[in-house]
Amino acid sequence: PPQVVWSMLGNRQFCSYKMTTKTQNFCRNEYNLTGLCNRSSCPLANSQYATIREEKGRCYLYMKTIERAAFPRRLWERVLLNKNYEKALEQIDENLIYWPRFIRHKCKQRFTKITQYLIRIRKLTLKRQRKLVPLRRKIERRERRREEKALIAAQLDNAIEKELLERLKQDTYGDIYNFPIHAFDKALQQQGAESESESDAEREEEEDEDVDTREFVEAEDSELSDFEDMDKLETSSEEEQEEEEEVEKKASHPKSKGKTPLKGPARRKRPYIEIEYEEETEPTTKTKAA
């Protein structure tokens, strides 16, 4: 008898499906209609009960009557509901025709909720789905350590400075920077002994430039300091330049493998600067050569 069941189980704490929180009691029974633990919504304490449950996207109406209370296997009767919302509601109505109002109402409410969340699932699966990829701690640590080591090995500032100086030497900046090319020229002569004839031609041009500018440079320097000092300066800078040149040559050859492919077949013709150089400095070099 349901009264006894309720007074024993539901009312007190003996029901295993009952979960209490500070404000409410919940019922974990899968056949429960509302999810709360009440006298009217406990499937154990009511001999006539009905629920809506869905499996794999289809909704079923489950009913329990007093006649089958002795046969637990056949206790719950299952009716497949129509996919159409209104037709399903009519089905519920005709199945629960003389049942108490509370159960009918709650069934329809539950059915509405279920159909709505099924619609939502279907909509969401069409949108982009975010896949969460777990990070592996060991791998993360390893990668971070390798990155640090690579950063140290890269010596970025030095590499960038070298590259910029290289570009300056190869005249990609054209005439923007006027530096005393005297020592510069010495270094170029050394390089010219080993490189192709193109560079020879260029070197000659630069020598001409140098002839023009050398006087200019010396005059400037003589204003600032004595002749002795200037000689010392020049010789020291020459030596430095020579040493640096050798080092740079050695360093640039293994590096050239990495850099030159991106700059096209010949070292001086870089795809993204070549034409600029020709446009800007060609007229000036012509005049100087002449």
Site residues, another protein (CB under 8 A) = 127-128, 139, 143-144, 146-147, 149-151, 153-154, 156-157, 159-161, 163-165, 167-169, 173-174, 176-177, 179-181, 183-184, 237, 240-241, 244, 256-262, 264-265, 271-273, 275-276
Q: Which two tokens stand for residue 66?
A: 């007093």
Least gap, CB of 148 to another protein (angstroms): 9
Least gap, CB of 141 to another protein (angstroms): 12
Least gap, CB of 189 to another protein (angstroms): 15
Q: Which residues, other chains included, contact 174 with Cβ-Cβ below 8 Å and sequence gap of 6+?
A: 277, 280, 281, 284
Q: Give dist(CA 93, CA 107) in Å, integer.
A: 10
Q: Give dist(CA 279, CA 49) in Å, integer.
A: 91
Least gap, CB of 28 to another protein (angstroms): 34
Nearer to another protein, 164 or 201 (CB): 164
Least gap, CB of 275 to another protein (angstroms): 8
Nearer to another protein, 92 or 183 (CB): 183
Nearer to another protein, 62 or 277 (CB): 277
Is residue 71 within 8 Å of residue 27, measured between CB atoms? no
Q: Give dist(CA 15, CA 55) in Å, integer.
A: 26
Nearer to another protein, 101 or 127 (CB): 127
Q: Give dist(CA 242, CA 248) in Å, integer.
A: 10
Coil, strand or helix at 78: strand
Q: How many other CB atoms sit within 10 Å of the CB of residue 31?
A: 17
Least gap, CB of 147 to another protein (angstroms): 5
Nearer to another protein, 2 or 174 (CB): 174
Output the DSSP codes for 225-290. S-HHHHHHHHHHHHHHHHHHHHHHHHHHHHHHHHHGGGG-SSSS--TTTHHHHHHHHHHHHHHHH-
Nearer to another protein, 200 or 240 (CB): 240
Nearer to another protein, 54 or 171 (CB): 171
Q: Classify each residue of 139-176 as buried b or exposed e, where b means 16 or more C-beta atoms within 10 Å of its C-beta.
A: eeeeeeeeeeeeeeeeeeeeeeeeeeebeeeeebbbee
Least gap, CB of 168 to another protein (angstroms): 6
Nearer to another protein, 36 or 159 (CB): 159
Least gap, CB of 287 to another protein (angstroms): 21
Nearest in space to 17 (alpha carbons), one of 45, 46, 47, 37: 37
